[in-house]
Amino acid sequence: MTLIATLFPLLCWFAYNYGIPLIERRRPSLSVIMSMQRRRWVANMASRESPLDAILSGNLMGSISFLASTTVLMILAIFTAFGQLPAVVTALRTAGLGPTFSAGELQLHFVVMLAIFVLAFFAFTLALRQFNHFCIMIGAMDHTNKATEAEIDSIARLNTMAARNFNNGIRAYYFSVATVAWFIADWAAIAASIAVVLVLLHREFYSSAHRIAASAALSASRREQDTTK
Q: What is the pLDDT of residue 224?
A: 65
pLDDT tens across 160-194, in order? Answer: 999 999 999 999 999 999 988 888 888 888 999 99
Of 27, 36, 60, the C-alpha closest to 160 is 36
- Decide: 197 and 155 in contact? Cβ < 8 Å: no
- Decide: 158 and 134 in contact? Cβ < 8 Å: yes
Q: What is the pLDDT of residue 126?
A: 95
Q: How far apart are CA 113 and CA 176, in angstroms?
A: 7
What is the DSSP code string of 74-85? HHHHHHHHHTTH
Give every residue of the chain whose pLDDT is below 70, as ranges.
94-100, 224-229
Q: What is the pLDDT of residue 148?
A: 84
Q: What is the pLDDT of residue 228?
A: 58
Q: What is the pLDDT of residue 98?
A: 55
Average pLDDT, the chain: 85
- Decide: 33 and 210 in contact? Cβ < 8 Å: yes
Q: What is the pLDDT of residue 80?
A: 85
- Decide: 210 and 201 in contact? Cβ < 8 Å: no
